[in-house]
Structure 1
Amino acid sequence: MTTDAPQQAEAEAAAPYPPQPVLRQRRGKRLTLQTRLMVTIFAIVAGILLVVSAVTGVMLNTVLAAQTDQQLTSAWENLSPQIGISAVHGTAADQLQGAQASPGTILVVESPFSGKSGAVVGDDLARYHLSPAQAEQVMKTARSAGDTTVNLHGLGTFRIVPVTQSGEIIGVLGISLGSERTVLTRMLWSITLATIGGMLVLGFATSGVISRGFRPLRGIAATATRVSRQKLDEGVVSIAERVPEEQSDPSTEVGQVGFALNTLLDHVEDSLAARQRNEETMRRFVADASHELRTPLASIRGYSELSQRDPELTESSRQSLERIEAQSQRMTGLVEDLLLLARLDEGMELTFDMVDLNQLVVEAVGDQAMAGMEHDWGADVGEEPVLVAGDKARLTQVVTNLLANARTHTPEGTQVTVGLRTVGEGSSTRAILTVHDTGPGIAPQLQDTLFARFARADSSRNRRTGGSGLGLSIAKAIVEAHHGDISVLSVPGSTTFTVTLPARPST
């Protein structure tokens, strides 16, 4: 008869072995300290350069405006003798020619002799006449705004001032702002390119300096990470990792962190060594005590058996001797279990050979089926042998303990199924053995300590017989001595113990 184990047990059993601790990661990536420092420095420097650029632009614009006003004044001084309502008979171009005006000078005059005319001096010193609309635009702007700027389509922007005589505007004189705008544009582009280049240089330099400054801190983090991956909960532990001396100088901030970590590791190593010494002392005590108790317990059992053969014993005396014998047998079992655990902790008590787990499971299920006929027993195994290197007697004890627990702590009619399969290939092949029952389950608060020594299930498992609480701890010690792992997954109506062992690859 075969019964499939629950999918939860399958998923857990198929997990990689041994399970590695998973670091809990927070949602959302936070910027590293190096990145935040670089962003802060970039922002501050960029802000400073932006302010400097703005101030430089304003000052340069002021200087260029003053220079333009000076040029305009000079042009006015050259042209003023020729501009007059009674003396002007020529056009604006004639007056610009007579004054030998510089390139970019614009003049608009309104004379009763020659009418309204306008001209501008080009870069080649030629005089170009303004259209009537352009001349009118210049005069209209000067009358309404006075000293201002005007933009003429196709000619550019000019700084203009009205020319007055007897309180009336008889002309407009101006200077082109093209050269000023060109200088200002070139200067701003130069500042922009210099700023970009400076930011790039700053980026590389800052990144190198900060990265070099944080290198000792990364070394300290790497040391702490390597220590965190060491197995420190049992066995002889030696923490050889230390922060290098050049990274643990207390005179620097980073060195203080390295020095504190080295001090902490020293204290942890001393504490672990003290813990190991205490464990070894306790283990030797338990082994010695268990060994010494075997002889008096055997004597008590022998004398009780011998005394029961006396035909003159009363019924009450016989019952008392039977109780003495039963309790001595129970104590003998407890002493044997303690002695076995002590020897397993010391790496003793195991004789390795090739063991066929298929055969072992079938035999163990058959034995339990005879001992617990009130349960429904099943074995889900394949036809191919599953070979592991181990001690057959101790592996049989593991399976027997798990089945005995299922029989003892579940009600009649419970379905108990033993499954066996292999996962992986080559040297990573693992044998997965599961013991599944449909009983009431194990209380969640007990599952974390279920494999601890002297751990007992509560009444929800319907415990009917006395026990030492060492069965599962012995099973765990035997499995770990075979470089395997044992775990439990239990919910109401489904409890699965999973044993994982290294297996020989199938051929």
Structure 2
Amino acid sequence: MAAVIGMVAFILVMIAVSTGAIITGVLQTNLTAQVSAAVNNVQVGATSTASDVLANGPFPDGTVLVLRSPSTGDTGAYIDGRSVRALDGPQVDEIRDAVADAVTTGMPDSDTVDLPGLGDYRIGFRAGQLGTVAVLGLPLSQVTATIGAILTTVALVTAGGLFLLAAIIALVIRVGLRPLRSVSETATRVASIRMDQGDVSIDERVPDEQVDDHTEIGQVGAALNSLLDRVDASLAARARNEEMMRRFVADASHELRTPLASIRGFSELSLRAMRQAQDDESRQRIEMAVETTEQSLERIQAQSLRMTTLVEDLLLLARLDEGQELVYGTVDLTRLAVEAVGDARPAGPDHAWSIDVDDEPVELAGDASRLNQVVANLLANARTHTPAGTEVTVAVAREDDEAVLRVHDDGPGIDPSVASQLFERFARADRSRDRKTGGTGLGLSIAKAIVEAHGGTIAVQSTPGDTTFEVRLPAKPRDPA
């Protein structure tokens, strides 16, 4: 506002000064013309005085006349209202000196003189017959008064215009910045929300009426709303991740607690048996202690292997999340499926295994050992969670630029309430499946992590009697014909 009003004020002042200078010049030019015309109209006789000429002629109020005549000498007079008054000696001398200077310096026949007691006058002189000289002057007070009135009017109009301009600018800025105030208020309310703990949700948004993509401030409001949407989504994702992490830690602790408790129990049993054998040196007691210790060590070894498998699976998931643990090469997915089915038949003799593949192998770029683990986990999942007599079919095909692996079984299916959580870590199969062995619940999550690390997807569709796990991976481009 200060910049705009200051610039407008400067422009208006310059206009006023220029206008005043132009009008002053015009008025002074007109006054000079009036003086010249008036002095030419002066009729001087041999015995005329300045008072006689002013009294007999039509001259405006304030006219000053000085006559020099051989018979009367220097006489001076001026019109004061309706009367003619004589000029005193200093006033006549001032006019005479001004005329003498003008004649000496070769100046034009008009000049400005300051008469004591009367003010500034524009004078003109003319030499007449018989050695007479007439000097006539008109007051500059009218020009000064006119210029003063003009400048006063311009000053008042300028001040009023600036005041009105300031009011309009203030109103326009206030209305224009209203959306920005709404943005500021929204940001202030968001800043007061505690985001360092608990389930945080940001519901504050800039009102829709303050969001306009056609204005810069409206775009700021839209950008803030978009930012708050992203932050709110990030906070929700963080809360979900924290909840998953808490559940993950609890599940991992539960999985590790059982083998650790078994190891501790069998260790204590072995120590107790050894102490009893030391106290009683009978052969039978020693043999019993050796047998107990051997069985305990076998159980300890089994539980240690279980913990090792669990830790290795967790480490694999962590490395896959970091983009590590993959060694790329050309992988024949058809061959992997055939070999996996061949390994599954001895492990699940009570299931019917079949394979459906094309004659042309389906190849892709990936880690063969990890992709083999995906197929093995899917087959183990089908074998473990379906009853005896279930038919499991593995199909491999190429669809456009994707290699597709499908594992289908006609078992009881998956409960829809847990289907969405099936690929989470430590997820358990639904109750409709008979889980014969207690796995860690990491098999499908590992399969998903490996598939996604290869840029693919894994999904499941299940109804009673029809369950299909589908893996889609980027296929290797076909060789040009």
TM-score of the superposition, structure 1-length normalised? Answer: 0.50
User: 2:76 matched to which residue of 1?
Assistant: 118
In 2, the alpha carbon distance for the partners of 1:169 and 1:207 equals 70
Q: Which residue of 2 is the match for residue 476 of structure 1? A: none
Match of residue 95 from structure 2: 138
Displacement of 1:295 after TM fit?
4.0
Q: In the alignment, what sits opposite 1:377? A: none
> In structure 1, what is the equivalent of residue 227 of structure 2?
264
The 8 Å contact of residues 62 and 138 in structure 2, kept in 1 or not, is answered as yes
Deviation at 1:180, TM superposition (A): 1.2
CA deviation after TM superposition for structure 1 residue 53, in Å = 0.6
Q: Does 1:194 align with 2:157?
A: yes
CA contact (8 A) 2:76 2:92 kept: yes
CA distance in 1 between counterparts of 2:271 and 2:20 reads 117
* Structure-2 separation of matches of 1:300 and 1:244: 62
Measured after TM superposition, the shift of residue 173 of structure 1 is 1.2
SS in 1 for 2:41: helix
- Residue 304 of structure 1: how far off its partner (Å): 3.8
Counterpart contact for 1:106–1:121, Cα < 8 Å: yes
Q: What is the aligned partner in structure 2 of residue 237 from structure 1?
A: 200
Cα contact 1:162–1:169 (8 A) shared by 2 = no
- The whole-number CA distance in structure 2 between the counterparts of 1:306 and 1:195 is 106
Name the structure 1 match of 2:236.
273
Contact 2:91 2:115 in 1 (8 A): yes
Q: Which residue of 1 aligns with 2:39?
A: 76
Matches of 2:112 and 2:125, distance apart in 1: 11
Distance 2:261 2:87 in 1: 133
* CA pair 239-195 structure 1, distance change in 2 beyond 3 A: same
2:213 corresponds to 1:250: yes
Deviation, 1:283, is 0.6
Paired residue type of 1:97:
A
CA shift in 2, pair 1:168/1:266, >3 Å: farther
Aligned letter for 1:276?
A
Shift of 1:249: 1.9
Q: Write the letter of the residue equivalent to 1:231.
A: R
- Deviation per CA, 1:185-225, whole angstroms, max 9, x where unpaired? 11111110111111111111110011101111111122122
Q: Does 1:289 align with 2:246?
A: no
Q: Give the counterpart letter for 1:144 in structure 2.
A: D
Q: Name the structure 2 match of 1:212.
A: 175
- Counterpart of 1:182, as a letter, is A
Task: For 1:45 and 1:161, locate their aligned partners in 2 and report how far apart those are by CA, in whole Å.
Answer: 43
Contact 2:36 2:124 in 1 (8 A): no
Structure 2 counterpart of 1:39: 2
Q: Distance in 2 between matches of 1:109 and 1:75?
A: 14
Contact 2:211 2:222 in 1 (8 A): yes
User: Does structure 2 retain, via aligned residues, the 8 Å contact 1:143–1:162?
Assistant: no
CA 1:142–1:308 in structure 2 vs 1: closer, same or farther (change >3 Å)?
farther
For 1:99, the equivalent position in structure 2 comes to 57
| Map of 2:67 onto structure 1 | 109
**Within 2, Cα distance between the matches of 1:240 and 1:169?**
102
| Cα distance in 1 for residues equivalent to 2:136 and 2:171 | 59
Structure 1 counterpart of 2:184, one-letter code: A
Once residues 60 and 263 of structure 1 are traced to their aligned partners in structure 2, the CA distance between those partners, rounded to angstroms, is 61
Distance 1:110 1:177 in 2: 24
Q: What do residues 99-147 of structure 1 show as CA deviations (whole Å, max 9, x unaligned)?
A: 232211111122221111211111x221121111111111111221342
Letter of the structure 2 residue corresponding to residue 137 of structure 1? E
2:35, 2:137 within 8 Å by CA — same for their partners in 1? Answer: yes
Measure how far apart 1:306 and its partner are: 4.7
CA distance in 1, matches of 2:178, 2:116: 62
Deviates more, 1:139-148 or 1:193-202: 139-148
Largest Rg, 1 or 2: 2
**Residues 1:88 and 2:46 are matched in the alignment:** yes
Distance 1:225 1:308 in 2: 67
- The change in CA–CA distance for 1:43 and 1:300 in structure 2 (over 3 A counts) is same
* d(CA) in 2 for partners of 1:237, 1:131: 99
SS state at 2:51 partner: helix
Is 1:143–1:169's contact at 8 Å kept on the other side of the alignment?
A: no
Answer yes or no: is the 8 Å Cα contact 1:117–1:132 preserved in 2. Answer: no
Alignment of 1:448-487 (within 5 A): none
Give the length in aligned residue pairs: 274
Q: Does the CA contact (< 8 Å) of 1:102 and 1:125 recur in 2?
A: no
Residue 165 of structure 1 deviates from its aligned partner by 4.3
Shift of 1:75: 1.7
Secondary structure in 2 matching 1:117: strand
CA distance in structure 2 between the aligned counterparts of 1:208 and 1:302, rounded to whole angstroms: 83
- Superposition pairs of residues 350-429 of structure 1, within 5 angstroms: none
In structure 1, distance between residues paired with 2:114 and 2:269: 131
2:22 aligned to 56, 59, 62, which one?
59
Distance (Å, rounded) in 1 between the aligned partners of 2:46 and 2:261: 146
Segment drifting more, 102-111 vs 227-236: 227-236
Paired residue secondary structure (1:103): coil
Asked if structure 2 preserves the Cα contact closer than 8 Å seen for 1:248 and 1:259, the reply is yes
Q: Deviations over 1:280-306 (max 9, x none)?
A: 101111122224433443443444445
Aligned counterpart, 2:349: none
CA contact (8 A) 2:201 2:232 kept: yes
The counterpart of 1:129, out of the listed 86, 96, 115, is 86
- Do the aligned partners of residues 168 and 42 (structure 1) sit closer, same or farther apart at CA in structure 2, a change above 3 Å counting? farther
Q: Tell me the residue number matched to 2:340.
A: none
Q: Distance in 2 between matches of 1:248 and 1:159?
A: 69
Query: What fraction of aligned residue pairs are identical, expressed as a percent?
Result: 44
| CA distance in structure 1 between the aligned counterparts of 2:47 and 2:65, rounded to whole angstroms | 15
The CA distance in 1 between the partners of 2:137 and 2:253, in whole Å, is 116
Q: Secondary structure at the match of 2:177?
A: helix
Q: Is the 8 A contact 2:65 2:77 kept in 1?
A: yes
169 and 215 in structure 1: CA distance in 2 versus 1, 3 angstrom threshold: farther
Say which structure, 1 or 2, has more relative contact order (CA 8 Å, 6+ apart).
1
- What SS is found at the alignment partner of 1:41? helix
